[in-house]
Amino acid sequence: MIVTPNLIAVNHNGHRYVPGEEFEIDRAGYARIAGHLDVIDDEDKPAAEKPLEKQSVAELKAYAELHNIDLGDADKKPAILAAILAAQQAGGAPNGGTGDGDQQ
């Protein structure tokens, strides 16, 4: 996972990290100093558990494909996210598709 110190500098693997400086840490290291870190990206966490706003472009595209959401020509995160959110509101199903993952 990618983290950053929240209020104070932290030491990890022989390096001192200051607030705002991002670094990668494993779950065991995170558990040791979790109270002093903000999570930037948690690749170990399944995309379905991440809020859409926190998902990567690849995760959003996979989400759209899984839920039969047409992204049109959207290729950047803000446009992809907007297309997904619009489909969710217009589609009736919570995911904007049919709700069963099958093609319409």
Tens-digit pLDDT profile for residues 89-104: 987 444 444 444 444 4
H helices, E strands: number in the chain: 3, 5
Does 99 map to a domain?
A: no
Tens-digit pLDDT profile for residues 3-13: 889 999 999 99
> Are both 36 and 52 inside the same structural domain?
no
* Overall domain count for the chain: 2
Does 22 map to a domain?
A: yes
> Are both 30 and 54 inside the same structural domain?
no
- Would you give the DSSP letter of residue 34? G
Report, as ranges of residue numbers, the positions in the chain whose pLDDT lies below 50.
Answer: 92-104
> Are both 51 and 33 inside the same structural domain?
no
How much is the pTM? 0.45
Alpha helices by DSSP H, listed for 1-104, are: 27-33, 57-66, 77-91
Q: Hey, is 82 helix, strand or coil?
A: helix
What's residue 87's pLDDT? 92
| 23: containing domain | 2-41
> Are both 51 and 78 inside the same structural domain?
yes
> Are both 54 and 37 inside the same structural domain?
no
What's residue 9's pLDDT? 93
Does 37 map to a domain?
A: yes
